[in-house]
Amino acid sequence: MTISAAAVAVEIDGKCLLNDVPLCIEPGQIIAVVGPNGAGKSTLIAAIAGDITPTEGIIRHHDNDLQTLSFLDRAAIRSVMAQSQSVVYDFSVLDIIAMGWVRGRDGESARQFGAAVSAIVEECAIAELLGRTFNSLSGGEQRRVHFARALMQLWRPRGSANSAYLLLDEPTANLGLAHEVRLLKKLTALAADGIGILLVVHDLNIAAKFADKIALLHSGRMTCIGAPKDVLTAERLSKVFEIPISIDPNPLTIKYY
Amino acid sequence: MNTSNPQAGHLNALTTRQTRALFGLIVTTLVAAAVACASGSFDISLWALLKGNASALEQSVFNQIRVPRVLLSGLVGASLGLSGAALQGLFRNPLADPGLIGVSAGAALGAALIIVLGSQFAVGATLGAFLLPVAAISGAALVILLLYIMTRGFGYQGVTYMLLVGIAVNALASVGIGVLTYISDDAELRSLTFWSMGSFGGVTWPLLVPALLAITVALLMMAPAARALDLLQLGEVEASRLGVDIVRLRYRVIFSAAAAVGASVSLSGMIGFVGLIVPHLVRLIGGVNHRYLLPGSALAGAGLLISADLLARTLIQPAELPVGLITSAVGSPFFLWLIFRMQKL
């Protein structure tokens, strides 16, 4: 029961954005995708999510070829928090969060909805935003609401055997420090509950601190994937990011986490 | 419903405000319908009718003239309001309106073709009644197909792009109607002119039935799209990540909008701005969720057109104004106000 990509290549308008990329996300695992701008990080998320069809290779969700799964099946397996969205009409924050509910609308699942909303609103500390319209929120507040919506989509009754996955593209952009820490802690807790997580981050420190595995992308290729200490070497990072990077195991450590 | 949890009902239920709004709209529409059935150049006492002591003349005016007319104006209003709401949702464009984006004009051209050239085809009267709506629906569908191509599959291209396409389509359609006007004989010209100004006059039951069918089917098809239309407001990619099959949603909304608008135009001509104003008013009253907006727009559209038609036939009695004139008189200032308010877009 994993999400996996084998030899995935994506070509758009004759430009090769991803080439021969392998990846496997297991339940409970956090994989951070890092790499310079234009490395193909967002394309990788989009391909894994099923937004774009790979030109070559195959993506499997729970052993099924992603292309054979219906949109609803996919929505039940993975949830995506994207970089930014605009909403045309004045939906309330609660409306937006409720949009994440993909578990059916009658009987038992409708009853679970209320419990899920209360729990998630509390975890994300967005109770004070609930009554407002989404468009009146700041960028950071909108991202917190989108995160809550992504959690709604992942929500499962306790003890449910089905594994689920969360894909995040730059989840900490625009977030204040406190909310960034809260989000990262929540990701760790989700992983402990068996959710597989793939996140794109710019901050290598966050990647090193929170990920079980780091996937280093460079010009559409997976340069290296493995444990943070193996992937994040000064020599490799300097080469990929084209600036001298040194790694210093904590002289003065400021810990927020 | 879980009382300790105020959000629990939010999944399916309408808010109290939305329930009240819908209830108010139902009452208003029914009252408007009752008044419209009773008044006109010949006043009927509904009370006498109910008690069964109305004159034979009153009976027949009520059954053969008023009821079909009020029913038709209500149905046309409902389909224009609902189509406007659904198209504004589908295109994520608050200025989408079947009239402004050219869909009504396409339907009008299709209908005009039949009005002018229809006599060339020797078809029976029953079949003829179906021919007009079918031609109008095809015209509407053709325009929507053109919009589809112009926006590369209804991709979001900004609010104004589709309106510009609409201007061009409207111009093209009026060329077609102009040519038809030129080649039509006196009788055809008369019916074309009256029809194109938009009117509910001259409706009879046999004319009403095919369009009634088309409109009802369209309304029923639109209803289950409410949640998908909500999700679509997050963007197409986000909606598909949440399980919406965008392609199927488009077909559903577009086919039913074409059917509803086409059938409406075939019976009553082009009635502008209803599809634009109504969803905005309904949003102002009770919010933006489509599970409320779709039925609300259908009701408000019905109420609005029943009232507009009542005005059209009572303001200068015994003569009659085209109802399209009244909706445009109300709608165009509203449109200007919308543009003024939306300058930032």
Q: Which ipTM was obtained for this model?
A: 0.88
Domain B70-341 CATH class label: mainly alpha
B194: closest CA of chain A, how far (Å): 38
Structure tokens at B57: 């003349």
CA distance A42 to B252: 31
Question: Strands across the sheet with A64-65, in order?
Answer: A15-25, A3-12, A56-61, A64-65
Note whether B261 and B79 are within 8 A (CB). Answer: yes
Note whether B278 and B81 are within 8 A (CB). Answer: yes
Is the residue at A251 inside a domain? no
The separation between the first and the last C-alpha atoms of chain A, rounded to the nearest angstrom, is 30
Q: What is the CATH number of the domain that holds A139?
A: 3.40.50.300
pLDDT at B114: 84
Query: What is the rounded average pLDDT for all residues in chain B?
Result: 83
Beta bridge partners of A78: A165
Is the residue at A254 inside a domain? no
pLDDT at B119: 66
Q: Is the Cβ pair A82, B237 closer than 8 Å? A: yes
pLDDT digits (tens, 9 = 90+) for B156-213: 666 678 778 888 988 998 899 889 888 888 878 877 777 776 677 767 787 788 777 8
Task: Collapse the DSSP code of B92 into the 3-class scheme (helix H, G, I; strand E, B; otherwise coil) and give the result.
Answer: coil
Domain count, chain A: 1
Give the CA angle between residues B243, B245, B251 to the nearest 5°: 155
CA distance B147 to B128: 29
The b-or-e profile of B113-128 (16+ CB within 10 A means b, else e) is bbbbebeeeeeeeeeb
pLDDT at A86: 76
pLDDT digits (tens, 9 = 90+) for B14-34: 788 889 999 999 999 999 999
Is the residue at A199 inside a domain? yes
Is the residue at A40 inside a domain? yes
Percent of chain A with pLDDT over 70: 94
CA distance B232 to B215: 24
Give the closest of B10, B283, B287 to A98, CB-based: B10
- Token pair 């919308």 is found at B338
Neighbours of A230 (CB within 10 A): 12
pLDDT at B21: 92
Nearest residue on chain A to B1, alpha-carbon basis = A111
Q: Which residues have a Cβ under 8 Å from the Cβ of A181 and sit 6 or more positions away?
A: A256, A257
pLDDT at B218: 84
Q: Is the Cβ pair B11, A101 closer than 8 Å? A: yes
> φ, ψ for residue A206 (rounded to 5)?
-60, -45
Q: What is the mean pLDDT of each run of 10 residues along chain A (257 residues)?
A: 88 89 92 92 92 91 89 91 78 91 77 87 90 89 92 82 86 87 92 92 89 92 90 89 82 59
Is the residue at A143 inside a domain? yes
Per-residue pLDDT at B1 exceeds 60: no
For chain B, the structural domain boundaries read 70-341
pLDDT at B127: 63
Domain encompassing residue A48? 3-241
Average pLDDT score over residue span B278-292:
92
Structure tokens at A48: 């894994």
Q: Give A121's contacts in chain B (Cβ within 8 Å).
A: 7
pLDDT digits (tens, 9 = 90+) for B64-98: 888 888 998 999 999 999 999 999 998 888 888 88
Is the residue at A255 inside a domain? no
Question: Strands across the sheet with A213-218, in order?
Answer: A78-81, A165-169, A196-200, A30-34, A213-218, A221-226
Q: Give B245's contacts in chain A (Cβ within 8 Å).
A: 70-71
Note whether B78 and B147 are within 8 A (CB). Answer: no
pLDDT band at B303 (very low <50, low <70, confident <90, very high): very high
Is the residue at A150 inside a domain? yes
pLDDT at B154: 62
Per-residue pLDDT at B124 exceeds 70: no
pLDDT at A147: 93
CA-only gyration radius of chain B, Å: 20
Neighbours of A160 (CB within 10 A): 10
pLDDT band at B258 (very low <50, low <70, confident <90, very high): confident
C-alpha distances in Å from residue B234, one per residue of A93, A124, A257, B2, B251? 12, 20, 32, 28, 19
Query: Does the beta carbon of B93 lie under 8 angstroms from any beta carbon of chain A?
Result: yes
Is the residue at A248 inside a domain? no
The separation between the first and the last C-alpha atoms of chain B, rounded to the nearest angstrom, is 40
Structure tokens at A208: 């090193």
C-alpha dihedral, A123 to A129 to A135 to A137, nearest 10°: -80
Nearest residue on chain A to B159, alpha-carbon basis = A88
Residues of chain A contacting B, Cβ within 8 Å: 49-51, 70-72, 74-76, 79-80, 82, 85-92, 94-96, 98-102, 105, 110-111, 113-115, 117-118, 121, 130, 153
